[in-house]
Structure 1
Amino acid sequence: MLITLFVITLLFLVMAIAAVIWQRRHLVKIKADQRVYEVLFERLREGVIFTDKERNIVRTNPAFSKITGYEFAEVMNKNPNVLSSGMQDASFYQKVWDAINQQGFWEGRLWNRNKSGEAYLQKTSIIDLASLNHPKLGFMAIQSDITSLVTHEQELNKLLHYDALTGLPNRLQLTKHLEVVLKNAQANSDMVAVLFIDLDGFKTINDKFGHEVGDKVLIQTAQALKTTLGEHAIVSRVGGDEFVAVISHLKNEHLLNNLLNRVQRSISEVGYSQDVLLELSASIGVTLTPENQSEAEQLIRHADLAMYQAKQAGVGFIRFFDLDEDRETKHYRRIWLEVENGFKEGEFELFYQPKINMRTGEIVGAEALIRWHHPQKGLVMPDSFLPFIERSYLSETLDKWVIVQALNQLSEWRSMGLEWQLSINITSRSLQQAHFVSNLAKRLKEYGTELAPYLEIEVLETSALEDMEHVIAVIGQCHALGISFALDDFGTGYSSLQYLRDLPVDIIKIDQSFVRKMLHDPNDLSIVGGVISLCRVFNRQVIAEGVETAEHGEVLLLLGCDFAQGYGIARPMDAGALMVWQAQWQVKPFGLVHNQAMFGRGDTSLLRAEVIHRLCVDQVEDYILGKHEAAPDVNSKQCDLGKWLGHYSLKHDQICHELKQVHSELLFTAAELIKLCQKGQQSAAQDQLPKLFNRRDGFIKVMRKLHNAVVNITE
């Protein structure tokens, strides 16, 4: 019994000792765990707040102090609202506590204010600790300062959605805004306008005054657009010098037109506000809803297309988008693609139209004219594709190709002993390129600089006037290389004595539209004669285009123009055909049927009288053929020729007598045919038209005799 009791006592003693040992080990583990938790609590990068059940702070960690600037002692037993920034209202906090009461936690972002008074954005998690049944703890909040992260996100967002220079929204942001505007406008039946604005001549400003001035212009233009268009508009910069504006809440187009005029005026004022005087304007394309029911991105493209049409019209124009013009633009793009492919496939070729000295009959050169051997359409003339690509990069590609082909041809002619000059047409876009002259010089070096005097560059008058200062500089640099310049289509642009004086071109080409009609239109004759006289005064060589008959050549020689090209001499042809034509060409004066003395500088009033009577015969013919209802006046008493006859009658009595006779016969025959027609005898009148033409030719022959006599006396 005693032994049993001893064993039981010993067993209890062992168990007690084991329990004490286990308890001590467990306490050590708990303390170790507590130390781990304390270390984690102290070293957490997130700020931690413990509050009691009344939401007063009972503990914080060092990260809290680092984030807020407050030490624990400063916030102990205080409500966390001591950190409130005032940027969230009471309803915000009510929603936070509603979520905690319902779900046991809340997570989100809120703005607090640190000890220094600076607001910061924090990501916060608040947890209800009620489930722990802790006697003191009520809530725990974990917070992270994400201000710098969000600021970085905002900076990235700004880079993605805003223009760095002007601060305006970019195209991506604009499109998003426009989508919202369109949705609201549809709901409210409002009108919305999309404006695509392109600054005219901005590249010239950058090139001439530098990018610093250019950037200043862009910044001030952005501000001017925002100020002018007002609160119902968003302005965006979508390219180098391109802006798009979306205007909502428009009531009618009249208000829009007023706004557009104010936009133009504000942009011009930006130019005047600079340290240097800039002539600044803009081309504007406009599209409207609800007329245009397209999506946002499509509306912007439509406004862009309208702006392109405005640009084509000139400087400072405004154009509204039109579906027909859209179809035309698509046609443009189709041709661009075909031309681009044509270059790759080698479908283009230069044809050559000879130029001659009409006084001697010698071939002096040729003009290179591009032709397109289209796989489906056959031989395509330049008028069918050049206007569509002249303002695109393809025009530069074409010009570079033309220069190479021309130098090749000049080399070939030189090897054959032909010292002809070859003129090539260069677009204004190529002339505006900074490296045009240096690239041309490089090509000349490849083919031989001795070819330079035989190369002539033709520029359109309208192209030359786009940037006179730049073109003058380019011409000067080309002259230094030995290359000459011709001003093409003179008279079709804004011809003035100033341009003729300042542009250092070597040759003036009279536009064919005046030359072709000068035999029948006294005004065109006066224009041609005036241009020739001006060229003589300014010491410029002159050449006439559009010489289609021997009579054209004779009149031009009478006016003092020796050089010509046109169908009356030869049509454009390929290089091989040109050699065949050249071998058959007889070097003789062009169309001379009278004494050499008449080809001088006589009284052009005689030529004008000749043309007036040609026109009179044309009008009679049209009346007899039923092309005009009213009969022309052929009363000899109303004719001005008598004044000239009286002036020259003392010196050339015999010729004047002959002229009076043929003049009277011409007008009498014309009057007789008109009477027949008025009596209803149109067929009889038409049968006698050859008689009228013979009278006209006889009259012209005597007029030339008089001119010849006048020249002999004056010389």
Structure 2
Amino acid sequence: MSASYREALRAALLYLLLSVVWMQLSGYLLNSFFDSSAELLRWQLINGYAWMTVSAGLIFIARARLLRCLGIGARLRERSEDRERLRQAAAVFDCTREGVLVTNGEGLIVHVNRAFMEITGYQSEEVLGQRPSLFKSGRHLKGFYQAMFETLDSRGEWSGEIWNRRKSGEIYPQWQTIRVIHDDLGRHSHYVAVFSDISAIKNSEHKLMHLAHHDALTDLPNRLLFTDRAEQALASAQVHKRGCALLLIDLDHFKMINDGLGHTIGDQLLKAVAERLKAMFGAGITLARLGGDEFAVLAESCPHLVQAAALARRIIDGLKEPFPIDGHQLFINTSIGISLFPSDALSAEQLLRNADSALFKAKSGGRNGYALYTEELTAHAQQRVEISFELRNALDQQQLRVYYQPVHDLKTSRLIGVEALVRWEHPQRGLVSPAEFIPIAERTGLIAEIDAWVMQQACRQMCQWQQAGKVLSFVAVNVSSRLFARRELYQQVAQVLRETGLAPACLELEVTESAVMEDPEVALEQMHRLRELGVRLAIDDFGTGYSSLLRLKRLPVQKLKIDQGFVAGLPWDEDDAAIVRVIIALAQSMGMQVHAEGIEQVEQAAFLLEQGSHLGQGYWFGRPVPAGQLDWLRAPVITQSLA
């Protein structure tokens, strides 16, 4: 109970006590001193007035005391509520995860919270009385802070990203909000800054930016970043009048490693190649992985063609050393296409496109080398695009034709079979050479569809010849690597034989040596299934691939075809003659027939017959012709022709 309340209570009790005493005294006086009624009446009047005066005074005193007591209680309750709100605000101030800093009107720090100390590393006693300039990073110019205070003066608040320094010296980013506090007179009394550490957000943004512009496997720049850097390099080269070179690198036969050893080994090889390439180059050269097994190199100061060629040769030689990966010694060859700025192209996109054309030339020329871009390559590339587009419609519009080249028994010169060869009869360009459209069909994937169509047409034609009494032992059909790699080839061949009614033994499928060696185990399984079906199998272009004799002896093939590249030099080229002898001896030892193609002279046929080759085809026997123009007459006997 407060002192004021007790004082008011005492005043009220005194008033009651005086009232009782006065009543008692009045009664006694009335009974003792007044005999007449007139005197009694006067006394009562005087007594009443006196008592009223005393009562009014006492009531006034008690009321004043009571009102003063009630006012003090209200103020005390208000103060108590204020103290509670301050305790709550202090708890929030101290527990919030954002750092809080309060300065007075003069800019001196008067308060900081716990989060401030955790973020900055400073204790409160180290910063109180200091100015916030203590935390400057040095990354912002003077104008930055001037603009901040101008905004505070005009709007009373500023928000933005700012870089400050921790006690350790580390510079870090903050998102900060500063507000101005005014006193009752409207003057700036305090400044309150609330900030959060956004280092984690900045790091995440940096990582995302890095991932968007770098290859995840090798950590090299990707195509997007490489193109951007190339554009900047070309712009700088144009200003400073210097040349640049772009080299497009492709790993030869990388698919064989992926298929044979698995993608894990393939990925490790790509990383090892990237590391070796990085070790080759210094400043001024940008290396990137564009995708798959394709890399790109931009030499920013390469004014001469000779320098670009020397760089390409250094890359080819540098990658020839084996790569020890997971217990394997892996060897890889490289093809490189080169395009130069400004002689070949003036933009990064055009430079890449021209280098790709040169790379195609390098791979077509036998791989493991480099090629330079020329205008002729551009025209050739444009022509390839046009042919690719038109070839897609050739099948539907029945523009493809099947020609048949005779195959003769070298000993008797008798026509024994034919090879089915596809031709394209273009409505405007006439007969398009297979050398022009077959590589494009292989690159676009159309070759598998074309091969299937040729097989069906050849089987149907073979049945027509048989019905007409024409005797042939077989019709040979080429099977591309794409079609051969399809597991449904067995069903496809079986369906064609079933639809046409041709006996399986009359169909011979020719598979290139390289197609078999791409995945030997799958090839072995595929060939056994086809042999079970009853068709004949032959290895085409033998001697040009990477055959393993151990695998070759397991293949269920009946024939080896000697590539025309070895036949062309016979019988005068000693190397060709030696190779042909070895192939014939190998086939005979394994119980296979030998079939030579590309025979154009009787001397070549005579040499092959002498060495034991069984079958032959080529211009000396007959060119590929439509079915109706095939010459069924016996070819001249070789010995008689020589005589």
Letter of the 2:636 counterpart: G
Cα separation, partners in 2 of 1:60 and 1:551, compared to 1, 3 Å: closer
Does 2:636 correspond to 1:591? Answer: yes
Does the 8 Å contact 1:472/1:503 carry over to 2? no
Query: Which of these residues, 527, 532, 535, is aligned with residue 478 of structure 1?
Result: 527
Q: Do the aligned partners of 2:182 and 2:188 also contact (CA within 8 Å) in 1?
A: no
Aligned with residue 92 of structure 1, among 137, 140, 144:
140
Change (3 A) 1:196 1:556: closer
Q: Which amino acid aligns with 1:377?
A: R
CA-CA distance at 1:171 after TM superposition: 1.0
Q: Is the 8 A contact 1:217 1:270 kept in 2?
A: no
The aligned counterpart of 2:197 is 145
Q: Is the 8 A contact 2:344 2:374 kept in 1?
A: no
Q: Give the superposition deviation at 1:497.
A: 12
Distance in 2, matches of 1:331 and 1:497, equals: 38
- What is the CA-CA distance between 1:149 and the residue it aligns to? 2.5
Q: 1:188: how far off?
A: 2.1
1:47, 1:67 within 8 Å by CA — same for their partners in 2? yes
Residue pair 1:486, 1:508 contacting (<8 A) in 2 also: yes
Distance 1:455 1:211 in 2: 37
Query: Out of 446, 453, 462, which is 2:495 matched to?
Result: 446
1:301 Cα deviation (Å)? 1.8
Q: 2 CA distance for matches of 1:190 and 1:252?
A: 10
Q: Structure 1's 97 and 426: CA in aligned 2 closer, same or farther, altered over 3 A?
A: same
Q: How does 1:1-12 map to 2 (within 5 A)?
A: none
Select the structure with the greater relative contact order (CA < 8 A; seq sep ≥ 6): 2
For residues 300 and 115 of structure 2, what CA distance do their matches in structure 1 show? Answer: 50
Q: Distance in 2 between matches of 1:80 and 1:290?
A: 55
Q: Deviations over 1:464-501 (max 9, x none)?
A: 3588574687267414521444344568x589997998
Once residues 551 and 96 of structure 2 are traced to their aligned partners in structure 1, the CA distance between those partners, rounded to angstroms, is 83
- Compared with structure 1, are the counterparts of its residues 570 and 280 closer, same or farther at alpha carbon in structure 2 (3 Å cutoff)? closer
* Residue from 305, 316, 319 that aligns with 1:264: 316
- Secondary structure, counterpart of 1:314 in structure 2: coil
> Are the counterparts in 2 of residues 357 and 363 from structure 1 also a CA contact under 8 Å?
yes
2:67 counterpart residue number: none
Contact persistence 1:532–1:561 (CA under 8 A): no
> Residues 149 and 113 (structure 1 numbering): CA distance in 2 closer, same or farther, change over 3 Å?
same
Query: What is the Cα deviation at residue 443 of structure 1?
Result: 1.5
* Letter in structure 1 aligned against 2:247: L
Contact 2:322 2:331 in 1 (8 A): no
1:11 aligns with: none
Root-mean-square deviation (Å) = 4.9
Confirm or deny: 8 A CA contact 1:452 1:481 kept in the other structure. no
Q: What is the TM-score normalised by the length of structure 1?
A: 0.64
Mapping for residues 192-271 of structure 1, pairs under 5 Å: 192-250=244-302, 252-269=304-321, 271=323
Q: 3-state SS of the aligned residue for 2:219?
A: coil
After the TM superposition, which of the residue ranges 215-224 and 477-486 deviates more from structure 2?
477-486
Deviation string for 1:273-329 (max 9, x for gaps)?
A: 663111112211222223234212221222222222212122321122222212222
Aligned with 2:401 (options 338, 341, 349): 349
Question: Per-residue displacement from partner, 1:435-476 (whole Å, max 9, x unpaired)?
Answer: 33x23223134345995543323345xxx3588574687267
CA change 1:375–1:72 in 2 (3 A) is same
Instruction: Decide which of 158, 168, 177 is 2:220's aligned counterpart.
Output: 168
Q: Distance in 2 between matches of 1:253 and 1:566?
A: 42
The 8 Å contact of residues 485 and 506 in structure 1, kept in 2 or not, is answered as yes
Matches within 5 A, 1:610-625: none
Specify the alignment match of 1:56 in structure 2.
108
* TM-score, normalization by structure 2: 0.71
Find the counterpart in structure 2 of residue 187 from structure 1. 239
Residues 553, 591 of structure 1: 8 Å contact kept: no
Whole-angstrom CA distance in 2 between matches of 1:129 and 1:496:
87
Describe the shift of the 1:359–1:296 C-alpha distance in structure 2 as closer, same or farther (beyond 3 A). closer
Structure 1 residues 556 and 251: CA distance shift in structure 2, 3 A: closer
Give the whole-Å Cα distance in 1 for the aligned partners of 2:194 and 2:292: 48
Q: Distance in 2 between matches of 1:40 and 1:48?
A: 11
Give the CA deviation at 1:415.
8.1
Among all aligned residue pairs of Structure 1 and Structure 2, give the percentage whose two residues are the same amino acid.
33
Distance in 2 between residues matched to 1:590 and 1:190, nearest whole Å: 65
Distance 1:227 1:552 in 2: 52
Which of 451, 471, 474 aligns to 1:421? It is: 474
Please give the secondary structure, in 2, of the residue aligned with 1:231: coil
Deviation at 1:262, TM superposition (A): 2.8
Q: Indicate the larger mover: 529-538 or 366-375.
A: 529-538
Where do residues 646-685 of structure 1 align in structure 2 (5 Å cutoff)? Answer: none
Structure 2 CA distance for partners of 1:352 and 1:69, relative to 1, 3 Å = same
1:58/1:134 CA distance change after superposition, 3 Å: farther
2:265 is paired with a residue whose SS is: helix
Which residue identity is paired with 2:492? R
Which residue number in structure 1 is paired with residue 383 of structure 2?
331
In structure 2, what residue type is equivalent to 1:426? V
For residues 203 and 334 of structure 2, what CA distance do their matches in structure 1 show? 37
One-letter code aligned to 1:92: H
- 8 A contact 1:546–1:566 mirrored in 2: yes
Using a 3 Å threshold, how does the CA distance of structure 1 residues 565 and 320 change in structure 2: closer, same or farther?
Answer: closer
TM-fit CA distance, 1:202: 1.4
Q: Do the aligned partners of residues 211 and 561 (structure 1) sit closer, same or farther apart at CA in structure 2, a change above 3 Å counting? A: closer
Aligned equivalents of 1:469, 1:389: Cα separation in 2:
19
> Structure 1 stretches of 5 or more lacking a match?
1-19, 600-606, 611-699, 701-715
Tell me the residue number matched to 1:369: 421
**Aligned CA distance change for structure 1 residues 525 and 100 (closer, same or farther; 3 Å):** closer
SS at match of 2:272: helix
Once residues 616 and 322 of structure 2 are traced to their aligned partners in structure 1, the CA distance between those partners, rounded to angstroms, is 48
SS at match of 1:194: strand
Q: Residues 411 and 273 from structure 1, CA distance in 2 versus in 1: closer, same or farther, beyond 3 angstroms?
A: same
- Contact 1:510/1:528 (<8 A) preserved: no
Shift of 1:255: 4.5
How far off is 1:366 after superposition? 1.9
* 2:334 maps to 1:282: yes
* Aligned residues of 1:100 and 1:126 also touching (Cα < 8 A): no
CA distance in 1 between counterparts of 2:275 and 2:607 reads 60
- In structure 2, the residue corresponding to 1:383 is in which secondary structure? helix
Q: What is the distance in 2 between the residues matched to 1:144 and 1:496?
A: 67
Q: Which moved more, 1:482-491 or 1:307-316?
A: 482-491
Give SS of 2:330's match: coil
For 2:572, the equivalent position in structure 1 comes to 523
Over 3 Å counting, the alpha-carbon distance change for 1:566 and 1:166 in structure 2 is: closer
Q: CA deviation at 1:259?
A: 3.2
> Which residue identity lines up with residue 249 of structure 1 in the other structure?
S
> Could you tell me which amino acid in structure 2 is paired with residue 309 of structure 1?
K
Residue 535 (structure 1) aligns with: 584
Distance in 2 between the 1:408 and 1:537 partners?
35
Query: Which residue among 544, 563, 588 is the counterpart of 2:615?
Result: 563
Contact 1:41–1:61, Cα closer than 8 Å, also in 2: yes
168 and 497 in structure 1: CA distance in 2 versus 1, 3 angstrom threshold: closer
